């Protein structure tokens, strides 16, 4: 018993001393804690539902909120006890919810979720408009914030917490006090006929190192009819958007911006290093497998590439050389690979 | 997979549906009718009509598609229809032989 | 009071004009009412919610029943499942001429569809076939219900369709479909009284992939279970003959779904649709797990009058002498050469064999016979464009010219491709590649695979699979291949080369087809 206590204490201590931890969901029902300093798996937590998707850490780094079971379940993961604290029951009776978009406020007591509610009547489905709810983390009580157009994939919250940003076919800015969309940044619905629609898919969420939520876009330029790609960079703190055009398309799923905001790294079958100031691709290397997401170390020197295929590959950001391969117990579920806040 | 007793209600329903296999009304599919979208890699071909732009190997991408119902005509989906499909196989690249494909005839 | 009475009457007229009051098919099956009634309310007219307002192909109903079992707790024995499918196909099915329009999909033919509406093309057929839609008839409300159904069933479809405003497009597509495919159609009014054929004999003419054209007959006999037992014999141009025994049933008046086994096939499936006049069936039969193989076939009902099913061989060279067999029914047993006609250029020298179902004849073709297709006559029976006269083989084509195979063999059933080399004549105008070119049928070619350089240095040819000298491409196994970059699968694209040297020639004719070998479908739909 004593030995066990000492062991538990040691584990807890070593856990507390870790300063650079990451979480990602894996099949069939787990969350892997990755040590970004030692480049090894620091722990695993079994979730109640299958295939954890989005992950949002609490500001104190003690909890992670995640969606499981086909984005229908909202679980509270306790990183200290390495277990599920509870499931936030937010689905009203007679409904089915699918959750795309999850963000926590600065205090960590209020979650915003983008839900797609479906009323399951006895002989038919009735789809309610997609909407954003705020969830009281302590009680699980929900309140509708605003309805949004179909197609929202991710949520962000400005630093002053007055605006939610919903990333869908366009970027929608929702005033939390006014309960409505007050502004839209056009992506697919360009107002000018000489601007090509920016096709983005914001399912890959890891912006905490830089505060820049960066998603690759593809477009066909209406003047030249040429296909182009680039990055839509959203500064989460103030909601400002920077569209960085990069040239001919290379298939990419996602991008991550370095902590100094000078570089971005994008992945699919290749890893691209992008100089954001010069707006150019500086290096390209073939990846070991197709990958969905990458996160970046706090010092910006290491890239942790994962999602799709049961590995984390550690790359050197300066050389794009593979440093280490870490096997995962299961396939990473799309979409989050999040850095935990420093403790 | 046939030897594993499904643990939840939905899985049992899937099993029943699989056993149902009614009569001679069957399986009328040979080739897909094209699903490749503008900049998404399609299930069968990439935007250029080849396979080099597809996810590699397909097993790397299989659960991404399964989880989020990305190619509903070619891959089972976890969002609605086949919640437990991947239970027997944590990593598709390593354990793909454990996965049951869903054919109308089986 | 009079005014009120008038407006009520007017309202009634409007309701009837809109078909609202009369719409909906009563469900007379006690089994359907008992098993589906817990969720689908029955009204005073015996109409059940949802069910009474939709008509579908048998495959469409099968898919619905399986979804009810998978998601909504319906628990059916296989026998009850079959009965419900039978009832819904009989009473809420498609008519013969409605089925005919989607027959290609039901019988797994790979065709390029023409989608007549832009919104439907973009919102619907990016994921599934137009035939899946055109195989349904619904009330306006039931068409409109599909939007919520699809959003509920596939919540992520708006992300996959993010290049368009899917809900808005759906709002355009569904009303168009409601106009195009209403529950009550002229065909329904005209043909819904049609009964399925009784037992009897049918002539067949078909083409088996890799094997060639055939003629023959199939007999249907009533079986104890209410279905039919079948016995088919098919004769190929080389004189060989293949038999198949089977069983099956008519679902509704015009959908034949059967299975069979024979001298060359363990287990076959048959999918045929009956024409509105009840005289012909069109469809395919194929190995149970390989709808991509098998044969396309037409069946002609045998009645009292003489009929020609086909002639073999179907192509003759100018100046040639040959023995031909014409297959059919109710032929006069004392036919003489003067009773037959194969067109001006072909002389019938002798009738060497006569029977009510075939006639063998010796013929010669004039050296200056007109090139093209000729009608043939046997007694009073006639067949258009049945015999082809040509001067020489000008080129060959490998078919299909563009094909998609799927890896498999471990867990996935591989999707094979049977290539065929066909000889062609340039036709009367002597110019290759236009509509008057004449397909002279299957020839025995030699086959090889060749690297396609879509992606440099990927060495696809080494990995994708192999082709036999019979033209059958067998894809390699599925699964990651550690020998390839990123452990990618054995997928790839290659050229399929065919080479054939016509009789009397020394220079081989060559051609190629494009083959894409892709990954398995991990789920196959009942109606795609």
pLDDT at A204: 93
**HEC profile of C368-412:** CCCCEEEEEEECCEEEEEEEEEECCCCEEEEECCEEEEECCCCCC
Domain ranges of chain C: 45-190, 200-301, 308-390, 395-518
| Contact: C162, A203; criterion CB under 8 Å | no
The domain ranges of chain B are 1-19+49-106
- In sequence order, what DSSP letters do the residues of A110-145 get, joined into one string? EEEEEEEEEEE-SS-EEEPPPEEEEEETTT--EEEE
pLDDT at A41 over 90: yes
For residue C278, give how far its alpha carbon lies from the nearest alpha carbon of chain B (Å): 21
The predicted structure's pLDDT at residue C457: 79
Distance between A229 CA and the closest CA of chain C, angstroms: 15
Q: Quote the DSSP letter at residue A61.
A: S
Task: Say what the pLDDT of residue B40 is.
Answer: 53
pLDDT in tens, C175-208: 999 999 999 999 999 999 999 999 999 999 999 9
C204-235 core/surface letters (b: 16 or more CB in 10 A; e: else): bbbbbbbbbbbbbbbebeeeeeebbbbbbbbb
All residues of chain A having their beta carbon less than 8 Å from the beta carbon of residue C147 are 127
Model ipTM value: 0.93
**Where do the domains of chain A lie, and which CATH numbers do they carry?**
20-339 (2.130.10.10)
Which residues of chain C lie closer than 8 angstroms to A120, CB-CB?
152
- Chains near B with 3+ CB pairs less than 8 A apart are A, C
For residue A289, the chain B residue with the least C-alpha distance is: B56
Taking an 8 Å cut-off on Cβ atoms, the answer to whether B55 and A71 are in contact is no
Q: Are C15 and C21 in contact (CB under 8 A)?
A: yes
E strands, C391-485, are: 395-399, 402-406, 417-418, 420-425, 438-443, 446-451, 465-467, 472-475
Q: Provide, as residue numbers in chain B, all residues whose Cβ is less than 8 Å from the Cβ of C93.
A: none
Inter-residue contact C396 to C445 (CB < 8 Å): yes
pLDDT digits (tens, 9 = 90+) for C304-356: 899 999 999 999 999 999 999 999 999 999 999 999 999 999 999 999 999 99
Residue to test with chain A: of B10, B68, B81, B85, most A Cβ within 10 A? B68
pLDDT given for residue A343 in this prediction:
74
Residues of B in contact with C521 (CB under 8 A): 29, 32, 43, 73-75, 101
Flag whether pLDDT at A17 surpasses 80. no
Contacts (Cβ under 8 Å, ≥6 apart) of A24: A31, A32, A34, A55, A293, A306, A307, A312, A332, A333, A336, A337, A338
Q: How far C314 CA sits from the closest chain B CA (Å)?
A: 29
Closest to C89 in 3D by CA, of C63, C68, C71: C63
Mean pLDDT of C217-238: 95
Question: To 10 degrees, what angle do helices B9-20 and C58-71 make?
Answer: 160
Please calculate the CA angle B28-B33-B37 and round it to the nearest 5 degrees: 145
Of the partner residues B39, B83, B92, the one whose CB lies closest to the CB of residue A50: B83
Lowest mean pLDDT among A273-282, C6-15, C273-282: C6-15
Strand partners, B13: none
Residue B105 appears among annotated catalytic residues:
no
- More confident call, A6 vs C451: C451
Report the residue from B33, B56, B77 with minimal CB separation from C154: B77
- Report the CATH fold assignment for C395-518: Immunoglobulin-like (2.60.40)
- Cα C314–chain centre separation: 23
Q: What is the mean pLDDT of residues A124-130?
A: 98
**Residues sharing a CB contact under 8 Å with residue A259, sequence separation 6 or more, in sequence order:** A209, A210, A296, A298, A299, A300
Interface touch B87/A50, C-beta < 8 Å: yes
The DSSP bridge partners found for residue C466 are C474
Q: How far apart are CA A126 and CA A119, in angstroms?
A: 5
Selected residue of C161, C162, C164 to mutate for chain A interface (largest A Cβ count, 10 A): C162
The answer, yes or no, to whether residue C453 has pLDDT greater than 50, is: yes
Q: Chain A residue with minimal CA distance to C38?
A: A122
Q: What percent of chain C has pLDDT over 90?
A: 86
Q: What is the pLDDT of residues A178-220, one digit of tens each?
A: 999 999 999 999 999 999 999 999 999 999 999 999 999 999 9
- Record the tokens describing residue A43, joined without a space: 């722990």
- Residue of B51, B67, B71, B89 to mutate when probing chain C, most C C-beta within 10 A: B51
Residue of A nearest to B80 (CA): A70
What rounded mean pLDDT belongs to chain C?
Answer: 93
pLDDT over 70 at A18, yes or no: no
Q: Of A199, A203, A334, which is closest to B38 when you measure between CB atoms?
A: A199
SS3 (DSSP) at C357: coil
Per-residue model confidence as pLDDT tens digits over A280-302: 999 999 999 999 999 999 999 99
pLDDT of residue B41: 54
CA C22 to chain centre: 35
List residues in chain A touching C: CB distance below 8 A. 71, 96, 98, 100, 116, 118, 120, 122-127, 150-151, 153, 169, 188, 197, 199-201, 203, 269, 286-290
The topology (CATH level 3) of C308-390 is Immunoglobulin-like (2.60.40)
Q: In chain C, which residues have their Cβ closer than 8 Å to the Cβ of B43?
A: 518-519, 521
Do the Cβ atoms of B93 and C480 come within 8 Å? yes
Query: In chain B, which residues have pLDDT < 70?
Result: 1-41, 105-106
Among B79, B97, B102, whose Cβ lies nearest the Cβ of C524? B102
Per CB-CB distance under 8 Å, the chain A contacts of B47 are 251
pLDDT one-digit tens code per residue, C489-505: 999 999 999 999 998 89
Contacts of B45 in chain C (CB under 8 A): 516, 518
Nearest to B16 among C69, C259, C454 (CB): C69
C200-301 and C308-390 share one CATH topology? no
What is the pLDDT at residue B23?
32
Annotated catalytic residue within B61, B67, B87, B100: B61
Answer whether residue A2 shows pLDDT above 90. Answer: no
Q: Which of A233-242, C3-12, C337-346, C404-413 has the lowest mean pLDDT?
A: C3-12
Instruction: Give the chain C residue nearest B15 (alpha carbons).
Output: C70
What is the structure's pLDDT at A281? Answer: 98
Q: What is the CA radius of gyration of chain A?
A: 20
The minimal CB distance from C162 to the residues A98, A169, A288 is found for A169
- Tell me the DSSP string of C299-317: EEE--SS-EEEEEES-EEE
Average pLDDT estimate for C480-493? 96
Contacts of A197 in chain C (CB under 8 A): 163
Question: What is the fold, at CATH topology level, of the domain defined by C200-301?
Answer: Lipocalin (2.40.128)
- Residue A131, judged by CB atoms within 10 A of its CB (0-12, 13-18, 19+), counts as middle
State the pLDDT at residue B105. Answer: 59
């Amino acid at each position: 018993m004593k030995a066990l206590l000492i062991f538990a204490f040691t584990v807890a201590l070593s856990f507390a001393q870790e300063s650079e931890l990451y979480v990602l969901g894996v099949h069939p029902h787990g969350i892997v804690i990755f040590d970004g300093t030692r480049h090894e798996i620091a722990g695993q937590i079994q979730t109640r539902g299958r295939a954890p998707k989005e992950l949002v850490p609490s500001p104190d780094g003690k909890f992670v909120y995640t969606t499981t079971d086909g984005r229908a379940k909202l679980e509270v993961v306790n990183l200290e006890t390495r277990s599920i604290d509870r499931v936030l029951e937010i689905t009203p009776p007679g409904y089915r919810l699918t959750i795309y978009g999850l963000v926590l406020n600065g205090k960590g007591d209020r979650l915003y979720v983008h839900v797609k509610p479906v009323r399951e009547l006895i002989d038919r489905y009735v789809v309610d408009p997609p909407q954003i709810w705020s969830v009281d983390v302590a009680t699980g009580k929900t309140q509708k914030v605003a309805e949004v157009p179909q197609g929202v994939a991710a949520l962000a919250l400005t630093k002053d917490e007055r605006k939610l940003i919903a990333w869908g076919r366009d970027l929608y800015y929702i005033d939390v006090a006014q309960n409505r969309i007050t502004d839209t940044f056009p992506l697919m619905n360009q107002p000018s006929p000489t601007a090509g629609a920016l096709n983005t898919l914001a399912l890959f969420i890891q912006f905490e190192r830089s505060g820049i939520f960066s998603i690759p876009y593809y477009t066909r330029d209406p003047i030249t009819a040429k296909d182009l790609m680039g990055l839509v960079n959203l500064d989460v703190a103030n909601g400002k958007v920077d569209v960085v055009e990069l040239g001919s398309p290379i298939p990419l799923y996602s991008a991550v911006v370095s902590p100094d905001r000078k570089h971005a790294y994008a992945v699919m079958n290749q890893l691209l290093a992008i100089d954001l100031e010069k707006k150019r691709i500086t290096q390209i290397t073939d990846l070991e497998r197709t990958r969905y997401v990458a996160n970046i170390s706090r010092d910006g020197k290491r890239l942790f590439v994962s999602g799709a295929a049961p590995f984390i590959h550690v790359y050197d950001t300066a050389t794009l050389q593979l440093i280490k391969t870490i096997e995962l117990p299961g396939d990473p579920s799309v979409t989050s690979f999040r850095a935990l806040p420093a403790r | 997979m046939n030897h594993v007793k499904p643990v939840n209600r939905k899985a049992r329903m899937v099993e029943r549906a699989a056993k149902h296999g009614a009569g001679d009304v069957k399986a009328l599919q040979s080739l897909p009718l094209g699903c490749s979208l503008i900049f998404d890699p399609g299930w069968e071909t990439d935007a250029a009509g080849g396979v080099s732009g597809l996810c590699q190997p397909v097993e790397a991408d299989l659960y991404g598609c399964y989880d989020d119902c990305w190619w509903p005509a070619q891959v089972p989906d976890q969002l609605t229809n086949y919640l437990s499909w991947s239970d027997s196989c944590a990593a598709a690249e390593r354990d793909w032989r454990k996965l049951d494909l869903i054919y109308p005839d089986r | 009071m009079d005014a009120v009475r008038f407006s009520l009457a007017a309202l009634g007229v409007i309701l009837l004009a809109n078909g609202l009051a009369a719409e909906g098919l009563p469900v007379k099956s006690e089994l359907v009412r008992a098993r589906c009634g817990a969720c689908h309310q029955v009204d005073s007219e015996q109409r059940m919610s949802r069910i009474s307002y939709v008509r579908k192909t048998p495959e469409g109903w099968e898919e619905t029943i399986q979804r009810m079992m998978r998601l909504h707790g319906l628990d059916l024995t296989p026998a009850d499942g079959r009965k419900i499918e039978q009832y819904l196909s009989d009473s809420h099915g498609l008519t013969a001429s409605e089925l005919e329009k989607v027959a290609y999909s039901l019988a797994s033919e790979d065709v390029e569809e023409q989608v007549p509406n832009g919104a439907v093309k973009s919102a619907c057929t990016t994921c599934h076939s137009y035939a899946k839609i055109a195989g349904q008839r619904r009330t306006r409300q039931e068409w409109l219900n599909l939007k919520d159904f699809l959003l509920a069933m596939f919540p992520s479809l708006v992300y996959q369709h993010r290049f368009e405003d899917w809900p808005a497009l759906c709002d355009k597509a569904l009303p168009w479909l409601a106009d195009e495919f209403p529950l009550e159609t002229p065909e329904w009014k005209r043909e819904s009284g049609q009964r399925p054929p009784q037992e009897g004999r049918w002539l067949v003419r078909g083409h088996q992939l890799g094997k060639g054209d055939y003629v023959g007959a199939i007999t249907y006999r009533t079986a104890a279970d209410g279905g039919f037992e079948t016995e088919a014999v098919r004769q190929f141009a080389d004189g060989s003959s293949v038999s198949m025994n089977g069983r099956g049933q008519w679902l509704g008046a015009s959908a034949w779904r059967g299975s069979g086994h024979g001298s060359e096939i363990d287990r076959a499936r048959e999918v045929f649709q009956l024409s509105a006049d009840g005289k012909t069936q069109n469809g395919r039969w194929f190995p149970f797990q390989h709808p991509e193989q098998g044969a396309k076939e037409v069946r002609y009902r045998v009645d009292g009058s003489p009929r020609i099913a086909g002639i073999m061989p179907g192509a003759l060279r100018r100046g040639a002498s040959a023995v031909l067999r014409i297959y059919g029914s109710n032929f006069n047993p004392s036919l003489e050469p003067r009773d037959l006609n194969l067109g001006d250029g072909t002389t019938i020298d002798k009738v060497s064999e006569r029977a009510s179902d075939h006639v063998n004849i010796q013929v010669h073709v004039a050296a200056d016979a007109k090139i093209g297709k000729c009608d043939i006559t046997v007694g009073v029976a006639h067949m258009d464009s049945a015999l082809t006269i040509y001067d020489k083989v000008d080129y060959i084509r490998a078919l299909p010219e563009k094909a998609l195979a799927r890896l498999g063999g471990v867990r996935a059933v591989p999707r094979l491709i049977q290539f065929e080399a066909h000889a062609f004549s340039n036709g009367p105008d002597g110019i290759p590649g236009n509509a008057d070119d004449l397909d002279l049928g299957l020839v025995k070619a030699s086959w090889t695979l060749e690297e396609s350089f879509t992606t440099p240095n990927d060495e696809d040819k080494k990995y994708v699979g192999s082709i036999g000298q019979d033209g059958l491409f067998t894809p390699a196994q599925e699964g990651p291949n550690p020998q390839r970059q990123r452990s990618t699968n054995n997928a790839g694209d290659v050229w399929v080369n065919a080479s054939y040297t016509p009789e009397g020639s020394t220079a081989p004719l060559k051609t190629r087809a494009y083959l894409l070998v892709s990954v398995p479908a991990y789920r196959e739909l009942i109606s795609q």
